[in-house]
Chain A
Amino acid sequence: MKVQINSERCQGHGRCYDLAPSLFGDDDEGYGQVLGDGVVPPGQEREARLAAANCPEHAIDVLEEA
């Protein structure tokens, strides 16, 4: 599984780095960033889906097959 942030859509609500801090961080202006290469380590799939399901801007993609 892999996560991506669409930076065109992200407005810095920060729900992703609140809910899945091991997968997402923030930049100097509060916009979300994927940590590392975005590959979700085994066991963190739930956090990845939770972050996507709570993004008000629909800016997070979870690629199940990656």
Chain B
Amino acid sequence: MPADDRFSPDFREPRDGPPGLRSEIVTGPVADWATDFSHLEPEWSADPYPIQDDLRQRCPIAHTERFGGAWLPTRYDDVAAIAYDTERFSSRAIILSNLRPPRELAPVGGSPPISSDPPFHHDARKLLLPAFTKTAVTRQEPATRAFCHSLIDEFGGQDVVDAASEYAQHIPVRVIADMLGFPPQDGPQFRGFVEDLLEGINRPPDERIERVGRLFDYLGAQVSDHLEHPREDLTSYLLDAELYGHRLDPSHVVGTMALLLIAGIDTTWSAIGASLWHLAKTPGDRARLVATPGLLPTAMEEFLRAYAPVTMARLVKDDMRWHGADMKADDWILLSFPAANRDPAQFDRADEVIIDREANRHAAFGLGIHRCVGSHLARMELRVALETWLDRIPDFSLADPGAVTWAAGQIRGPRTLPLRISG
């Protein structure tokens, strides 16, 4: 095939343009969650729900001077209103950090379509939708199930396994590597990419830029390989895709590859882990699901509501007074779907996990035009992971509740989860 001149060796060289806006890095214990919140502090990652519940009653939109200024709405109605209001809130950065990308990056953003604003967003998203319908992801189900079984086979005779690092983590990594057409043995590297992008928020910006560069080096190598050997996968699809009569800009191709790789890993890993954590500490729910497997799809939605892994971010476009808050241009919004999902104004017994909850209009996959494009894939992986686990290991418990650790940052789920599986 003819050489693809979009990907000349220097396609990643920085283009001329205004630099982003940097803010002072502030860490350390939070003085008052209403005026100094930080989702990166250990108290938040260990258990954010009491903090959110308290803020919802007394604020309900918390503020912090950290990160150069950020707001945290905690009521469902406020979270929904911001998710729907793409006129006043931009998605050009969706991970809150100490570096705001330049305004000129909108409406495309660095990783379309999650980072895109209308009207570009619609067209970039449309390219991805067919590959992620429920019907399309069903094709991944047999391989996912076989992979879950193989992970459990590898537990051997151990009494205690780490369900986060030995089970939940590997499932989305394998599935997305298959879909993008990346070598399955590269999976362990992806964990590092995820940490660099989503967790090392308070590292110095230059260090963050350098670390993120490693991800793009990797993706560049995958692009080269796919240009030489095109195949039936999402990478080749993106390389051939067209928008407005032209093939995609190289930064669009690689940015979307980064999105698909990163967004599907921590999130689904967290959902699987949090569900297993709940079942390990709640024997009644566990026994009920083992006895009634048909209840799992309903229970799964409740786990997604109560332990929603994903918080997104937005940037305020212009100075404004919004629902009582004096927001300034370029203030961050921490868009907490987990907090929305526990708002008692929206859900009966919001703080309880009710595995047969029938009406469950939760926002775990977001609301509005940025609804998670991988939600059908995530639900398939979560269902297959839990079905396979409950079938193979119906009796399990927390081996050491104090040893469970949770990820810090916008994606929250267990990162260490020792479970006793010997019955």
Contacts and interface: CB of A to CB of B under 8 A. Distances in A.
A30 B134 contact: yes
B129 interface: yes
Interface string B360-387: 1111010111010001100000000000
A17 B363 CA distance: 18
Interface string B315-340: 00000000000000000000000000
Interface string B113-131: 0000000000000100110
B6 to A, nearest CB: 26
Interface in A20-65: 26, 28-30, 50, 53-58
Query: Majority SS of interface residues in chain A?
Result: loop
Given A12-B371, A29-B129, A17 B361 contact: no
Contacts of A11: 367-369, 371
Contacts of A55: 361
A54 B359 CA distance: 5
Contacts of A18: 134, 297
B126 A54 contact: no
Interface residues of A, number: 17
A14 B361 contact: no
B422 interface: no
Given A26-B135, A57-B367, A12 B129 contact: yes
Contacts of B301: 54
Query: Majority SS of interface residues in chain B?
Result: helix
A30 B297 contact: no
Contact of B133 (A29, A53, A54, A57): A29
A18 B130 CA distance: 17
Given A53-B361, A56-B361, A56-B367, A28 B133 contact: yes
Given A28-B130, A29-B130, A29-B133, A50 B358 contact: yes
Nearest to A9: B368
Contact of B363 (A30, A50, A56): A56
A53 B297 contact: no
A14 B137 CA distance: 13
A54 B129 contact: no
A12 B297 CA distance: 18
Given A14-B375, A56-B365, 6 more contacts: A12-B371, A26-B135, A28-B130, A30-B132, A53-B358, A56-B362
9 contacts: A11-B367, A12-B371, A13-B375, A26-B134, A29-B129, A50-B358, A54-B359, A54-B361, A56-B361
Interface of B: 126, 129-130, 132-135, 297, 301, 358-363, 365, 367-369, 371, 375-376
